[in-house]
């Protein structure tokens, strides 16, 4: 739903992210074209399969990242062990493997979404909990901020909201490959989402909220140049984007946390819950408190389904310099 988008980020891939300015200046290279057309050919093959079979292939491909390739395997296992000290080595490994499989499924699911159409997207959902919470927030007439994290399938969550007819903007980072970037933007917009690159978010988010739109953010990855604050995540301070909190307090927009979780049968359950916004007049403290609340909401959901979290990202890489040694990046 936002910035890296359920609701709206590009699915994690080998293509690195880059600033929109650099991306716009760069023309596609021969390597970009080769990478892009290889991806399109692979997607064409997967599109001929049933959804269940195609996503199962995604899971198998994702598992290859764990073994034999070992892509960030040690990072994933260290972070899981730090977040869940009660897990023994076997359980850590089990969650790590499942996380790689989930990432593979998520990537294939996001890539195949355009072939489903709006009805197909709606049919992917077993149920939605808290849709009334979203409708009540919309009724306030100040737009709605939706915050989520890299849990479950954030792209499908955003697609569902759009398919239900809710006007929604996804704050998204651009991809280094401009052909990938254009493809992902076009496919999202065909499903009803309007994509806003993060460099334009400060200017366009207030306008969107005043128009009564929903604006979705992924808020669990700190990045250079992105306004952030340090808040606890599984007991360790993690650099966390503060943009959603700033907009909520500045514009009075209701804020929801959303998560779209994959079920054993391959369908999804989407959940919305209200994030309390308390304006005491101390803007900096209130922003930090709000960031803490939506980070706590994410942590609570990750504790329920750690297998569906994106542990491949070094969540505690950036920390305050005075962080005690035992609470630094594991």
What does the pLDDT look like over 38-71, one tens digit per residue? 878 888 888 899 999 999 999 999 999 999 999 9
Q: What local confidence, expressed as pLDDT, does residue 279 receive? A: 96
Q: What's the rounded Cα separation, in Å, for the pair 20 and 29?
A: 17
Q: What are phi and psi of 18, to 5 degrees?
A: -150, 160
Question: Among the listed ranges 125-139, 150-164, 218-232, 276-290, which one has the minimum average pLDDT value?
Answer: 218-232
Is residue 23 scored above 70 in pLDDT? no
Determine the Cα–Cα distance for residues 230 and 284; give it in Å rounded to an integer: 12
Q: How confident is the model at residue 188 (pLDDT cuts 50, 70, 90)?
A: confident
Please check whether residue 153 is in contact with residue 268, taking contact to mean a CB–CB distance below 8 angstroms.
yes
pLDDT attached to residue 224: 60
Residue 169 in any domain: the answer is: yes
Report the C-alpha gap between 95 and 80 in whole angstroms.
Answer: 8
- Segment (H or E) for 33: helix 30-47
Contacts of 188 (CB under 8 A, 6+ apart): 5, 8, 155, 158, 159, 170, 172, 195
In this prediction, residue 5 carries a pLDDT of 37
3-state secondary structure of 134: helix
Instruction: Please indicate, yes or no, if residue 56 is contained in any of the structural domains.
Output: no
Looking at the domain assignment, is residue 233 inside a domain? yes
Within-domain flag for 222: yes
pLDDT in tens, 229-286: 999 999 999 999 999 999 999 999 999 999 999 999 999 999 999 999 999 999 999 9
| Residue 296 placed within a domain | yes
Please state the domain count of the chain.
1
- For residues 175 and 188, is the Cβ–Cβ distance under 8 A? no
Q: Read off the pLDDT of residues 69-119 as tens digits, 9 standing for 90 and up.
A: 999 999 999 999 999 999 999 999 999 999 999 999 998 998 888 888 899
| Predicted local confidence at residue 26, as pLDDT | 62
Within a domain: 148: yes
- CA-nearest of 136, 131, 124, 217 to 170 is 217
Structural domain harbouring 161: 17-28+120-327
Question: Could you tell me if residue 84 is inside a domain?
Answer: no
> Coil, strand or helix: which one is 118?
helix
Cβ atoms within 10 Å, residue 140:
12
Average per-residue pLDDT for the chain:
89
Residue 109 resides in a domain: no
């Amino acid at each position: 739903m936002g910035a890296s988008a359920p609701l709206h980020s590009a699915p994690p891939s080998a293509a690195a992210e880059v600033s929109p300015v650099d991306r716009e200046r760069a023309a596609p290279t021969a390597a970009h074209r080769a990478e892009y057309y290889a991806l399109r050919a692979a997607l064409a093959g997967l599109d001929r399969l049933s959804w269940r079979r195609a996503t199962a292939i995604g899971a198998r491909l994702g598992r290859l990242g764990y073994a034999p390739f070992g892509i960030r395997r040690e990072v994933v296992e260290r972070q899981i062990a730090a977040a869940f000290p009660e897990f023994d080595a076997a359980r850590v490994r089990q969650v790590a493997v499942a996380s790689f499989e989930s990432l593979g499924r998520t990537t294939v699911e996001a890539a195949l979404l355009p072939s489903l159409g709006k009805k197909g997207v709606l049919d992917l959902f077993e149920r939605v909990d808290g849709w009334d919470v979203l409708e009540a927030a919309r009724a306030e007439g100040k737009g709605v901020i939706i915050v989520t994290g890299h849990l479950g399938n954030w792209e499908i969550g955003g697609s569902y909201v759009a398919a239900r007819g809710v006007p929604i903007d996804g704050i998204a980072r651009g991809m280094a490959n401009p052909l990938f970037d254009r493809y992902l933007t076009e496919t999202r917009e065909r499903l009803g989402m309007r994509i806003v690159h993060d460099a334009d978010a400060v200017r366009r988010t207030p306008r969107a909220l005043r128009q009564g739109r929903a604006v979705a953010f992924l808020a669990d990855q700190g990045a250079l140049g992105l306004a952030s604050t340090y808040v606890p995540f599984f007991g360790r301070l993690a650099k966390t984007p503060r943009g959603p909190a700033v907009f909520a307090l500045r514009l009075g927009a209701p804020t929801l946390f959303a998560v779209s979780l994959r079920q054993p049968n391959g369908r999804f359950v989407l959940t919305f819950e209200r994030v309390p916004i308390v304006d005491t007049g101390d803007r900096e403290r209130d922003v930090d408190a709000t960031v803490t609340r939506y980070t706590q909401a994410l942590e609570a959901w990750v504790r329920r389904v750690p297998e569906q979290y994106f542990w491949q990202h070094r969540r505690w890489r950036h920390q305050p310099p005075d962080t005690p040694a035992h609470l630094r990046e594991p």
